[in-house]
Amino acid sequence: MVRFVPALLALSATAWAAQSCSASSQCPEDKPCCSQYGECGTGAFCLGGCDVQGSFSTDSCAPMPICESKSYTWDNLDNAALNTKYLGNASATDWTYSGFPKVTDGNLELHMPKNTVGTLFANNHYIWYGKVSAKIKSSRGAGVVTAFILLSDVKDEIDYEFVGADLTAVQTNYYWQGVPDLDGDGMQERHANQETGHNSANATVNGEDTYSDWHTYEIDWQPEQLQWIVDGKVTRTLTKAQTYNETSKTPSRMQLSLWPAGQASNAEGTIAWAGGEINWDSEDIKKQGYYSATFGQIDVQCYDPPSGVSTSGNDSYIYTSDTGLQSDVAITGNSTVLGSMGATGLDPTLGAHSSSASSTSSSNDTMPTGGSGGAGAMGSGHSSSSSSSSSSSSSSDDSGSSTTSAAASASTTAGTNSAPGQERVLQGSLFAVLVAVVALVMQ
């Protein structure tokens, strides 16, 4: 299910006249990266979610960190960074987030406090075929959606979505190069090519329910076949032929999220899909102050990349053209790391060691340094095309209080320097300010 969050998109246009981008309207060279939410920029815009089709050129987005087989358990959040801090080094930081994640009793909780857009927790390593597995207790309540997905930068998507109004089943969906919302109802049109017209199916979850009980949800993603497996039982299999070759084909990131699909400002269709408008005075909100989804151990097992892929290193995937097809992805030794929030795939080391970059990006904690590795942070998780990721454009827990100082530091810095590179570093930081502003307005 795909949805837009019009309110956020409109808001971002007002708060900061970001240039929008799409496959038919690419970004300009000075802000070459098209974020997951269709806006041009540098830095975080060029990391996770950067859309090669809307970007200035195929090498504008930073190379994508290669798959790493790994198990994640939750003793702390040391391997996670706020979306305003991550600069592409997935070896140092496995996850990027926005919103309100918390580790409790060895589990990762994603929270959605009253009137917020929830939490997005995105893995920074891309997977190009593999199996992912997560122990999950979903959140609950009308309009509350918990998601566990694989999403590529050209919006191929495979997901599990838990609609809080129905705790007996989980939805399984896939999208191929996510189709935009054509009729304005906030929902993705069915892909004309699909055999059945259904990219969505419900998987019944045996046992009590998805909220009270732990269940293990797996996605086994192979070039020829895609399977959703719940508690070890295959609940859905799609072969390449059944989908007119339109199962996901491009390197994808695993994302966990909790988001308010039933937020009153969302499109009617989205709210209906989510089981109705969200109740911000529910039992969970009254009792604990937030909705919450819980994730236990998460495992990623990488499979071999497609045979015949062009390989010149071990570090990253890159697109070699903007078709967004499997055949146009290569494996390289190119670095995935950006020097600053002003850097891009075209000039990755910009600001890396200059004093200006460090003063902008690291000496002041209140100074956000850019957007998200997560889902672009700009919109709400669901860009026009992808469905479930999440909406989190909220910034961290401290977003409310840091908004003012962030804006203030941005303007202070603006007044004191004029180097061209610096200007780009600044634009990157404005992105973060915007994220903070959006979070504030949402509340």
- Contacts with ligand NAG, residue ranges (CB under 6 A): 59, 63, 89, 91-92, 166, 169, 198, 200-202, 244-245, 311, 313-314, 318, 332-335, 337, 345, 359, 363-364
Distance of CA 394 to the CA centre of its chain: 12
Name the residue among 41, 44, 46, 40 with its Cα closest to residue 60.
46
Catalytic residue status for 268 = no
3-state SS class at 6: helix
Give, as one character, the DSSP assignment of residue 35: -
We find the least distance from the C-beta atom of residue 210 to ligand NAG, in angstroms, to be: 12
Distance CA 94, CA 288 (A): 29
103, burial (CB in 10 Å: exposed 0-12, middle 13-18, buried 19+): middle
Q: Of 109, 157, 218, 246, which one is the catalytic site residue? A: 157
3-state SS class at 290: strand
Distance CA 69, CA 71 (A): 7
Residue with tokens 């970059």: 357
Name the residue among 108, 77, 109, 107 with its Cα closest to residue 94.
77
Catalytic residue status for 68 = no
Q: Which is nearer to ligand NAG, 13 or 234 (CB)?
A: 234
Q: Which is nearer to ligand NAG, 243 or 294 (CB)?
A: 243
We find the least distance from the C-beta atom of residue 348 to ligand NAG, in angstroms, to be: 7
We find the least distance from the C-beta atom of residue 292 to ligand NAG, in angstroms, to be: 21
The helix or strand, by DSSP H or E, that contains position 399, with its residue range, turns out to be helix 399-416
| Token digits of residue 161 | 């979505």
Q: Which is nearer to ligand NAG, 297 or 364 (CB)?
A: 364
The sign one gets for the Cα dihedral 438, 25, 23, 56 is negative
The sign one gets for the Cα dihedral 357, 65, 374, 214 is negative
We find the least distance from the C-beta atom of residue 274 to ligand NAG, in angstroms, to be: 10
Phi, psi of 255 (to 5 degrees): -130, 140
Q: Of 29, 68, 109, 161, which one is the catalytic site residue? A: 161
Distance CA 117, CA 104 (A): 21
Distance CA 218, CA 160 (A): 9
Q: How are beta strands 329-332 and 316-319 bridged, if at all?
A: antiparallel
3-state SS class at 72: strand
The sign one gets for the Cα dihedral 408, 432, 99, 78 is negative
We find the least distance from the C-beta atom of residue 180 to ligand NAG, in angstroms, to be: 21
We find the least distance from the C-beta atom of residue 29 to ligand NAG, in angstroms, to be: 15
We find the least distance from the C-beta atom of residue 262 to ligand NAG, in angstroms, to be: 14
Distance CA 411, CA 23 (A): 33
Q: Which is nearer to ligand NAG, 139 or 392 (CB)?
A: 139
We find the least distance from the C-beta atom of residue 231 to ligand NAG, in angstroms, to be: 19
Q: Which is nearer to ligand NAG, 12 or 402 (CB)?
A: 402
Q: Which is nearer to ligand NAG, 200 or 282 (CB)?
A: 200
Distance CA 135, CA 216 (A): 4
Q: Which is nearer to ligand NAG, 133 or 332 (CB)?
A: 332
Which residue type is seen at 365?
D
Q: Which is nearer to ligand NAG, 311 or 443 (CB)?
A: 311
Tell me the catalytic residues: 157, 161
